[in-house]
C-alpha cells in the first residue's frame, strides 16, 4: 500500500534528521521547502510518536550573535533510529558475524581498520595542514560534517571535545565495537595527540563524544594517556 503525501513528508523530515543530525524547525523548513506551520505539524507528530525529541540548542560562540533564547533542535531518538535503519545495516552485521564465526575475528578487526583508514585518507590533508590543535579539531569537525556525522566542537574543561550527533554505522558498531575503537585511533593520529571516547551512539549514549586534552601534562594528570583505545 502506498503512503499518502503527509506520511511521505513526515518520513522525509525524520530521515533528514537521521542523515544530517539535529536541526531546528527553521532549518528543516528551508531544507525541505515546507512551510513553518507544516514542518511544526510533522515535528509535533514525530515527537509524540517517540521518533524525535526536542532539546535546547547547544550554544557556541558562532550562534550567540542573535538575541533571545536559542531555538530548540530536534534529535532522533534511539527508537527512531531503529525504525529508520537501513536494511544494509542488518546485512553488514550478519556478514561480520559470519566472518567471526569462521575463526575470522581478526578479519573483523581488519575491516574496522580499513574503514577507519578510509576516513583518515579523506580527512588527513585538511587536518594535517593546520598548525594548532584547535585548528586541527576545527578542520576535522568540518570534514565529519561533510561526511554526514553532524559534528560540532567546543571547549571542555582542560581540553576540547568533538561531538558526532549522527553515526552512519551505529547499528553495526553496537554489535562490533571494533569500529568505534579503530575510529578513535584514527582521530588520535590525525590530531597528533591521545584522545578519549567519552560516549558513543552505538552504546546508547545519543551522541559520540571524543575528548582531546590540550597537552601531554594534562593527559598524565587525568589518566587519559593510556585510553586511546576503546569506545
87 burial type by CB count under 10 A (0-12 exposed, 13-18 middle, 19+ buried):
exposed
pTM of the complete model: 0.58
Tell me, what's the pLDDT at 70?
58
Query: How far is it, in rounded angstroms, from Cα 16 to Cα 19?
Result: 5
CATH topology identical between 5-84 and 87-222: no
CATH level 2 (architecture), domain 5-84: Orthogonal Bundle (1.10)
Q: What residue spans define the domains of the chain?
A: 5-84, 87-222
Return d(Cα 56, Cα 74) in angstroms, integer. Answer: 9
- pLDDT at residue 173, as a whole number: 83
What is the enclosing helix (H) or strand (E) of 19? helix 5-20
Are the C-beta atoms of 198 and 211 separated by less than 8 Å?
yes
Q: CB 96: neighbour CB atoms within 10 A? A: 21
Residue identified by cell 547547544 is 58
- Could you identify the residue written with the cell 563524544? 209
Question: What pLDDT, on a 0 to 100 scale, did the predictor assign at position 207?
Answer: 84
The residue ranges of the chain whose pLDDT is under 50 are 1-3, 60-65, 87, 216-231
Which residues, 6 or more positions from 142, have their beta carbon under 8 angstroms from its beta carbon?
126
For 87-222, which CATH class? alpha beta
Residue 206 · residue 75 · CB < 8 Å: yes
Take residue 114 and report the three cell numbers written for it: 580499513
Amino acid at each position: 500500500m502506498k503512503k499518502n503525501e503527509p506520511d511521505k513528508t513526515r518520513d522525509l523530515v525524520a530521515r533528514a534528521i537521521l542523515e544530517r543530525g539535529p536541526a531546528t524547525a527553521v532549518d528543516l523548513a528551508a531544507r525541505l521547502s515546507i512551510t513553518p506551520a507544516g514542518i511544526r505539524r510533522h515535528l509535533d507528530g514525530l515527537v509524540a510518536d517517540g521518533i524525535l525529541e526536542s532539546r535546547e540548542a547547544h550554544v557556541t560562540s558562532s550562534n550567540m550573535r542573535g538575541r533571545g533564547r536559542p531555538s530548540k533542535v530536534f534529535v532522533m531518538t534511539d527508537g527512531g533510529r531503529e525504525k529508520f535503519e537501513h536494511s544494509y545495516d542488518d546485512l553488514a552485521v550478519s556478514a561480520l558475524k559470519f566472518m567471526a564465526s569462521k575463526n575470522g575475528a581478526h578479519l573483523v578487526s581488519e575491516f574496522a581498520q580499513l574503514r577507519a583508514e578510509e576516513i583518515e585518507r579523506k580527512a588527513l590533508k585538511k587536518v594535517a595542514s593546520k598548525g594548532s590543535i584547535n585548528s586541527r579539531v576545527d578542520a576535522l569537525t568540518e570534514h565529519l560534517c561533510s561526511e554526514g556525522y553532524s559534528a560540532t566542537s567546543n571547549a571542555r574543561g582542560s581540553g576540547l571535545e568533538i561531538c558526532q550527533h549522527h553515526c552512519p554505522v551505529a547499528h553495526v558498531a553496537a554489535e562490533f565495537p571494533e569500529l568505534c575503537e579503530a575510529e578513535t585511533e584514527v582521530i588520535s593520529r590525525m590530531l597528533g595527540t591521545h584522545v578519549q571516547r567519552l560516549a558513543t551512539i552505538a552504546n546508547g549514549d545519543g551522541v559520540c563524544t571524543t575528548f582531546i586534552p590540550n597537552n601531554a601534562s594534562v593527559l598524565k594528570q587525568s589518566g587519559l594517556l593510556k585510553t586511546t583505545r576503546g569506545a
